[in-house]
Amino acid sequence: MQPVRLGLVGIGKIAVDQHLPAIAANAGFRLAATASRHGQVEGVDAYAHIADMIAVARLDAISLCTPPAGRHALALTAIEAGLHVMLEKPPAVTLSQVEALVGAARTAGVTLFATWHSREAAGVAPARAWLLDKRVEAVRIHWREDIRRWHPGQEWILGPGGFGVFDPGINALSIASEILPHQLVVESATMDVPQGRASPIAATLTMRCGLAEVRGEFDFLQTGPQDWSIEVDTDAGTLRLGMGGALLQLPGEAERPADDQEYPRLYERFANLIARREIDVDMRPLQLVADAFLIAERRVTDPFIF
């Protein structure tokens, strides 16, 4: 079988750090072209715009690594050209945009894959399996990182549609919605928005999983040790996920070792979906963020400068 001829759109930090190595390691894909205003890949045909790439390059699929704002139009361009599409997280800036893409992909008969890379972390699947027959009593989510370290100069992330602290925070919500046995429901929220910015730099969420309270704390101004952890209190003890889901500790057991195979697993999944022409789009993490934006108490804080 011939490899899928892939076009990569948006050659930024996430593409360089994660997508390119995963594509190179998967024999089912061949990187045939890129489209980006700011980056190129040596030895690969490069275009400034996705429409130019699609018009000239012979492609089967597109992987979109651009910021979420504008991604709907890019994905729709690819779908209408008959190409399979893989979306970085979050898949778009609104729920209606994602729903429209799902409808377009069904009409075109192509694969649409909205990825949640943190769900592919080593500890997530075994955590979900362990929790299946447990009673959840409380959940604590801590997602605290340094915006200047992980998103240097990315002004868009605090702008309209940039998600702010929920750009990383949605990773936590993608894990929680995957491993917990009941649908998460947002009850209240606060958002700290720097003066002159549109998206929060810190936030808290109070949610429910059945009768259990789920408390989420998200902070983009964390200095020192970074913290991406989830603790789940159950009738059988406390489950702990650390390092964004890579590390898992079950009650009475030693911490399980991590691996770094999130993006290789995503591309393996994309290949399988393409082979079956299936759609895989779970909007639950985006729904939780949208609910938070709807009901949050917004507090204006000091201006933020990168």
The model's pLDDT over 159-190, given as tens digits with 9 standing for 90+, comes to 999 999 999 999 999 999 999 999 999 999 99
Q: Are the beta carbons of 280 and 270 closer than 8 angstroms?
A: no
Catalytic residue chosen out of the listed positions 84, 89, 117, 144: 89
Reported pTM: 0.96
Name all domains of the chain by residue range, CATH numbers in brackets. 4-114 (3.40.50.720), 118-257+290-301 (3.30.360.10)
Find, among 132, 135, 141, 116, the residue nearest to 263 by Cα.
116
Is 134 among the catalytic positions?
no
In the sheet with 112-114, reading across from the earlier edge strand, the strands are 45-47, 29-35, 4-9, 61-64, 84-87, 112-114, 279-280
Residue 256: the pLDDT is 81
Residue 153: predicted pLDDT: 92
User: Would you say 184 and 214 are in contact if contact means Cβ atoms under 8 Å apart?
Assistant: yes
- pLDDT of 258: 76
Tell me what pLDDT residue 1 has.
Answer: 77
First to last CA, the chain: 47
Instruction: For residues 155 and 167, give the distance between their C-alpha atoms in angstroms, rounded to a whole number.
Output: 13
**Alpha carbon of 18 to those of 14, 151, 186: distances in Å?**
6, 15, 31
Question: What pLDDT does residue 255 have?
Answer: 87
Residue ranges of the chain whose pLDDT lies below 70: none
